[in-house]
Amino acid sequence: TFASDAVAGNQKNSGRAHFVLVPLMAQGHTIPMTDMARLLAEHGAQVSFITTPVNASRMAEFINCIGAIGLPIQFVKLHFPATEFGLPDGCENVDMIKSKDLFKNFIEACAALREPLTAHLRAQIPPPSCIISDMTHWWTADIARELGTPRLTFSGFCGFSSLVRYIIIRDNLLEKVEDENELINFPGFPTPLELPKARCPGNLSVHGLDQIRKNIYEEEIRCSGVVMNTFHDLEDLYIDSFEQISGKKVWTVGPMCLCNQDSKTVAARGNNASMDEAQCIQLLDSMKPGSVIFVSFGSLACTAPHQVVELGLGLEASKKPFIWVIKAGDKFPEVEKWLAEGFEERVKDRGIIIRGWAPQIMILWHQAIGGFMTHCGWNSTIEGICAGVPMITWPHFAEQFLNERLVVDVLRTGVEVGVKGVTQWGDEQKEARVTRDDVEIAVSKLMDQGEAADEMRMRARDFGLKATKALKKGGSSSNNIDLLIQEMGRKTSG
Ligand code: UDP
């Protein structure tokens, strides 16, 4: 049962700070917010987690786990008006949108949650201490103002990418440049960086999104602070610069994924896994430590079929053991055909293909994993950092190209596969080529012996240790969570 259905309105705030979390319903935004809910609750706060029926049923395992642990998190299910906004019934998550032109409808349907959410929160006595909402939910700022509650934003970006995004918006950099290939510089960015326009975040052209974007930016400027899923020892230069340049208080509370320490929540994260966990663990246990490469491109990126084939052939040529997640969206008939026509048979002794949703952190954090080929979504990237393994970067769109630069140039814990173009969300077929040789070379750079690879591994391991330290009692992120709860609690009581 969901507490909100039964007790909406009479949840008594027992003097603790009460946080309302409003995630964007896309895996890469919702998953870190579930971690955030857990961390805040474990540190003594009360949490209301806003969701919708379809998303709640996807998270059923997680909700059960939280109930079993007894953490004070209330899951508030609001009706999502999909059909009212031209979406199919039950289309309640970005990964269910069939065409990128419907993204605008989705965002507008989200904004229609304003009324029911306001009504729910108005009934809370005392009012909530703080709303932490996804940056896309600009309308939550109105609710916060009405309730006299601070609103903090969460973008899911790291400090490095947040800073670039901020400068792009502040200086209107993308509009000034016509040519997609023209290199853009970022005035005030603390280290050398230039990127073609096509690879900059915010360059996704979706019909009718301009006004929504404007609303989002305006409310970001007015928010009371920013919560980031990162930690100081990883990228303090960029976090501090962001604070200085934007004038916003930044709460670094990551890596939030590290709150998942028990095997049940590790396996249940995000969605119901499409494979048997016990079988997966058994298999990993049988592999040599550090010998396996894990390949996963997140929840939205949709790799073009010919690229999936090149990736597979490169993995085969590398002769290394691998676990490769091919999500539902990649299941083009030609890919299935190719897999079935010999590939799976040829690699069956050392390769596993997971079709659908994988228990990513369960696999990634297993000692058998020695490298991670990632699309550089920030969650995957920071999960890889926590695993202490080096990475092969294969960005597709959004701020993934920036995360690649952070990993390859700044942290120096990864190698690029050498993506030459951009695979915009919804325009998958246009992707520029990565060849099987590119893949094979990157895998061998990562997994083979040699000074460069050893150093990269050492640096990755070191960041992994620092990540763990940040969230342990007394660590920088753990302290920040305590301070955030104290500060917001004080505002409520005072
Ligand atoms: N994920 C997972 N299993 C999968 C695919 C993704 O658990 O099969 C998780 C992954 O661990 C991460 C999130 O989904 O927490 C994806 O977020 P990310 O920012 O990496 O990428 P996005 O999906 O937003 O592109």
- Amino acid at site 59: M
For the chain, the straight-line distance linking the first and the last C-alpha, in angstroms and rounded, comes to 34
Alpha-carbon distance of 50 to 74, in angstroms, equals 8
28 Cα to the center of ligand 1, angstroms: 6
Of ligand 1's atoms, which has the minimum distance to the CA of residue 396?
25
Phi, psi of 50 (to 5 degrees): -85, 130
ipTM score of the complex? Answer: 0.99
Of ligand 1's atoms, which has the minimum distance to the CA of residue 360?
7
Please choose from 31, 357, 373 the residue to mutate so as to test ligand 1's pocket, defined by most ligand atoms within 8 A of CB.
31
Band (2; pLDDT cuts 50, 70, 90): very low
Question: Residue 110's pLDDT is what?
Answer: 98
At residue 455, does pLDDT exceed 90?
yes
At residue 424, does pLDDT exceed 70?
no
Question: Residue 492's pLDDT is what?
Answer: 62
List, chain by chain if needed, residues with CB within 6 Å of any ligand 1 atom: 27-28, 31, 269-270, 296, 298-301, 325, 327, 357-358, 360-361, 377-380, 383
Q: Which stretch of 164-168, 199-203, 263-267, 415-419 has the lowest confidence by average pLDDT?
A: 263-267
456 Cα to the center of ligand 1, angstroms: 24
329 Cα to the center of ligand 1, angstroms: 13
Reported as a single tens digit per residue, the pLDDT across 92-138 is 999 999 888 899 999 999 999 999 999 999 999 889 999 999 999 99
Give nearest CA residue, ligand 1 atom 10.
380
pLDDT, mean of residues 408-436: 82
297 Cα to the center of ligand 1, angstroms: 7
How many angstroms separate the Cα of 374 from the Cα of each of 267, 325, 395? 19, 11, 7
45: left (phi over 0), alpha (psi -120 to 50) or beta: beta
Band (493; pLDDT cuts 50, 70, 90): low
Please choose from 36, 258, 302, 360 the residue to mutate so as to test ligand 1's pocket, defined by most ligand atoms within 8 A of CB.
360
27 Cα to the center of ligand 1, angstroms: 6
Question: Residue 11's pLDDT is what?
Answer: 45
When the pLDDT of each residue in the chain is averaged and rounded to a whole number, the result is: 91
**pTM score of the predicted model:** 0.94
Question: Residue 189's pLDDT is what?
Answer: 98
Give nearest CA residue, ligand 1 atom 24.
28
Reported as a single tens digit per residue, the pLDDT across 45-64 is 999 999 999 999 999 988 99
At residue 1, does pLDDT exceed 60?
no
Alpha-carbon distance of 168 to 186, in angstroms, equals 7
If one compares 425 and 481, the residue with the highest pLDDT of the two is 481
pLDDT, mean of residues 384-394: 98
